[in-house]
Amino acid sequence: MSYEFAWLDYRKGVASRAADLLKKIALTGFDDAAATDKDILFSAELELKRASRDICGQEAVFVRDEAVSDGINIVFDKSLGLPEGAYGIEIDGTRITVKASSACGILYGVFRALALIRTGRISEKQITEVPTSPIRMLDHWDNPDGSIERGYSGKSFFFRNDHLYVDDRTREYARLVASVGINAVAINNVNVNDIATGLVSGYDRKELAMIAKIFGDYGIKLFISLNFASPMSLGATDTADPLDEGVAQWWKKTTDDLYKDIPGLGGFLVKADSEGRPGPFSYGRTHADGANMLARALAPHNGLLIWRCFVYNCQQDWRDHTMDRARACYDNFIGLDGQFDDNVILQIKNGPMDFQVREPVSPLFGGLKKTNMMVEFQIAQEYTGQQRDICYLIPMFKQVLDFKTYNGEGEGILCDLVTGKGLSRACGMVAVSNTGDDPNWTGHDLAAANLYGFGRLAFDPTLSSEEIADEWSRLTFGYDDTVAEGVSKMLMMSWPAYEKYTSPLGIGWMISPGHHYGPDIEGYEFSPWGTYHRSDRNGLGVERGKTGTCMIDQYNEPIRSIYEGLDTCPDELVLFFHRLPYDHVLKSGKTVIEHIYDSHFEGVLDVEEMIGIWESLKDRIDELRYKRVADRLQGQLRNAKEWRDRINTYYYRHSGVPDKQGRMIY
């Protein structure tokens, strides 16, 4: 399938004065670079050629190892001592200088300088950027048959017909995500099927190595998701017990072989003992036993073992009110703190449940003190509109990163913990990817703001959501203040709007079972998945405080007391933590039932406002993209109305409380 260039289409978004800078370019230190750096530096050079051709209509004049006074100077100099991936940019009107001590720093600096030129932001004098998060990763849930679990943008561009597939789109993908600083990518689904099991033992090895090489040219490490029971599935052993010598030997040999062909491999990603996947529990072993066994096979190659903490009982009895899925992640891992090898990282979902539109932060971040941690976000909008509805998730991610966990002495800001600044050692941020082979990569054109934004935020979490939205819009739709203002406003409205017209006050889980789009209020209510809201004629919510499942006790003080107290618990999470009657008065002054009615009516009005903004931009946006977004907005409006009417009607029928404002409830 053909593809577009998303925010890297240099024919769009150029401030003309700045474009002149692209006529003369000096590259210093490139020719003497080590072989491993040269490939990345070459990608930076290619980028400058491409940008100058597309922006100025002809390729820049390139000079080597001499400075230019009017144009761009790119200086690769290890003696500058800038950290890995960091760069400095100096601007003095007729000249831009990009400096870095690592090849990746040069690549990121070039992408940044081009973005500044295109958005006309060349008045700043000096910028130095150091990536905050050491690992900035995307996890793809792509399957060998080309399908993508929770994929909403077409098919996989890594796999087709049970084989890995490499073409020019592979390189375009690497270029796209490297432009926002992504440096690690897992290409296959954590739910590893039989064919993908073979990825570690030889299947499509040539293609795997080709992908690793292309990624490497853009400073990206390739990761493979693996099946914990691979030695058994492939018939080599009759057990997958991590303490069995034969199993450990098989993994060691398999890993050594893999690294012979792919020396730059990043490592493995594992989902174990989760939703039916095999894991160490079957052998009475712990997650630390399982993770360390694999980590030891990787250690001689400096590989990393990323182990997911999404472990819970998915065979729950809905009648049992004492069991609480929200407790599971913490309960399963807290006792293992300090038992993991240095090259193991625990990958923890941002919330204790599963990527709902609103969840508290997972308490595990505040609990682990001696373990490497990485936060896992989802930019694939599984529960947040599936890239049919707009839902700009960067403001949510920022709230999570800013969360004070009180892990240890100080405030234990989550962002510090996962980036190595605080108590934990260096780790990072990961997002479940939202890309596929749709021409625009992300299905909904505006969903690309989440891909762009995640990378930018992982690189620099101090950026505001508004800044990221504005920058993305200008790079995507062109140098137009009106468009940038309108698009940014739509993006900034979209997460609150989605939250308003879906399930209220942090309770979540009222989506259609299985595919997770659209409302189905009791869809999961009597299921084994542990996701209940327990609505009845008296009220709704799950009591997780002292009189309930005590999940709140997993948080450190003062968070514990804040969540426990009805007068201190934030409204947006109150039904996550407490069971409340319909007439309970929230901090907002509204009762629970009034909040439900009002927010659902408001959510639909917000979508109508977004449509109005988009329509006002009609003549400023190319026809194809204008129409694509306009069509999706109409679908979003239908969806929002369906949510509004089903939820309001359901709660009117349950509570018997009429809407004070007399609005239409069925």
In the complex, the smallest distance separating the C-beta of residue 511 from ligand GCV, rounded to whole angstroms, is: 10
- Site for ligand GCV (CB under 6 A): which residue of 268, 310, 365, 452? 310
Single out the residue of 646, 562, 632 nearest to residue 600, CA to CA. 646
Query: CB-wise, 275 or 402, nearer to ligand GCV?
Result: 275
| 65 CB neighbour count, 10 Å cutoff | 12
In the complex, the smallest distance separating the C-beta of residue 297 from ligand GCV, rounded to whole angstroms, is: 23
297 contacts 252 by C-beta, under 8 angstroms: yes
Structural tokens at position 224: 């493979």
What secondary structure does DSSP assign to 567-590, as a single string? TTS-GGGHHHH--EETTPBPTTSS
Query: CB-wise, 64 or 515, nearer to ligand GCV?
Result: 515
Based on the shown chain and the rule CB under 6 A, indicate whether residue 141 belongs to the binding site for ligand GCV: yes
Single out the residue of 268, 258, 265 nearest to residue 139, CA to CA. 268
In the complex, the smallest distance separating the C-beta of residue 510 from ligand GCV, rounded to whole angstroms, is: 15
Query: CB-wise, 191 or 249, nearer to ligand GCV?
Result: 191
- Given 275, 522, 608, 615, which residue is catalytic? 275
Based on the shown chain and the rule CB under 6 A, indicate whether residue 191 belongs to the binding site for ligand GCV: yes
In the complex, the smallest distance separating the C-beta of residue 354 from ligand GCV, rounded to whole angstroms, is: 5
Amino acid letter, residue 304: L
354 included as an active-site residue: yes
In the complex, the smallest distance separating the C-beta of residue 470 from ligand GCV, rounded to whole angstroms, is: 31
Query: CB-wise, 147 or 399, nearer to ligand GCV?
Result: 147
In the complex, the smallest distance separating the C-beta of residue 314 from ligand GCV, rounded to whole angstroms, is: 8
**Cβ within 8 Å of residue 292, ≥6 positions away:** 242, 339, 340, 341, 344
Based on the shown chain and the rule CB under 6 A, indicate whether residue 354 belongs to the binding site for ligand GCV: yes
In the complex, the smallest distance separating the C-beta of residue 509 from ligand GCV, rounded to whole angstroms, is: 11
List, as own/partner pairs, every contact residues 204-213 make where C-beta atoms lie below 8 angstroms and the sequence separation is at least 24, other chains included.
204/163, 204/164, 205/261, 207/163, 207/164, 207/165, 207/166, 208/164, 208/261, 208/262, 209/261, 209/262, 210/166, 210/170, 211/158, 211/164, 211/166, 211/170, 211/187, 212/262, 212/264, 212/265
Query: CB-wise, 509 or 626, nearer to ligand GCV?
Result: 509
Based on the shown chain and the rule CB under 6 A, indicate whether residue 112 belongs to the binding site for ligand GCV: no
What secondary structure does DSSP assign to 374-393, as a single string? EEEEE-S-TTTTTTTS----
Amino acid letter, residue 422: G
Structural tokens at position 398: 């920022």
Rounded alpha-carbon distances, angstroms, from residue 563 to 359, 405, 557, 593: 13, 13, 10, 21
Query: CB-wise, 10 or 312, nearer to ligand GCV?
Result: 312
Amino acid letter, residue 504: P
Q: Write out the binding residues for ligand GCV, residues 262-291 only, by CB under 6 A.
A: 271
Based on the shown chain and the rule CB under 6 A, indicate whether residue 307 belongs to the binding site for ligand GCV: no
Rounded-to-10 torsion of CA 608, 12, 445, 133: -110
Q: Write out the binding residues for ligand GCV, residues 378-407 only, by CB under 6 A.
A: 382
C-alpha 353: how far from its chain's center?
A: 16
Structural tokens at position 209: 């190595």
Query: CB-wise, 190 or 265, nearer to ligand GCV?
Result: 190
Query: CB-wise, 282 or 649, nearer to ligand GCV?
Result: 282
- Site for ligand GCV (CB under 6 A): which residue of 74, 75, 190, 226? 190
Partners of 308 in the beta sheet? 347
Query: CB-wise, 47 or 324, nearer to ligand GCV?
Result: 324
382 included as an active-site residue: yes
422-435 in b/e burial notation, b at 16+ Cβ within 10 A? bbbeebbbbbbbbb
| Contact track, ligand GCV, 226-255, x by CB under 6 A | ------------------------------
Query: CB-wise, 154 or 351, nearer to ligand GCV?
Result: 351
In the complex, the smallest distance separating the C-beta of residue 275 from ligand GCV, rounded to whole angstroms, is: 6
Phi, psi for 608 (deg, rounded to 5): -60, -40
Q: How far is residue 410's CA from residue 426's CA, in Å, rounded to a whole number?
A: 18
Rounded alpha-carbon distances, angstroms, from residue 43 to 13, 110, 119, 178: 22, 10, 22, 10
In the complex, the smallest distance separating the C-beta of residue 534 from ligand GCV, rounded to whole angstroms, is: 21
- Given 129, 172, 354, 572, which residue is catalytic? 354
SS3 76: strand
Query: CB-wise, 477 or 517, nearer to ligand GCV?
Result: 517
Q: What angle do CA 393, 397, 403 make, to 5 degrees?
A: 150
In the complex, the smallest distance separating the C-beta of residue 577 from ligand GCV, rounded to whole angstroms, is: 22
- Given 37, 45, 139, 382, which residue is catalytic? 382
Rounded-to-10 torsion of CA 387, 390, 395, 400: -40
Partners of 224 in the beta sheet? 268
Count the residues of the shown chain that bind ligand GCV, applying the rule CB under 6 A: 9
Q: How far is residue 350's CA from residue 405's CA, in Å, rounded to a whole number?
A: 12
Phi, psi for 379 (deg, rounded to 5): -90, -15
| Contact track, ligand GCV, 143-162, x by CB under 6 A | ------xx------------
Based on the shown chain and the rule CB under 6 A, indicate whether residue 27 belongs to the binding site for ligand GCV: no
C-alpha 365: how far from its chain's center?
A: 17
Q: What angle do CA 568, 571, 573 make, to 5 degrees?
A: 95
In the complex, the smallest distance separating the C-beta of residue 378 from ligand GCV, rounded to whole angstroms, is: 8
275 included as an active-site residue: yes
In the complex, the smallest distance separating the C-beta of residue 525 from ligand GCV, rounded to whole angstroms, is: 17
Q: How far is residue 172's CA from residue 184's CA, in Å, rounded to a whole number?
A: 15
Structural tokens at position 545: 């405080």
Query: CB-wise, 147 or 649, nearer to ligand GCV?
Result: 147
Residues carrying an active site annotation? 275, 354, 382
Query: Which stretches of the chain bind ligand GCV, using CB under 6 A?
Result: 141, 149-150, 190-191, 271, 310, 354, 382
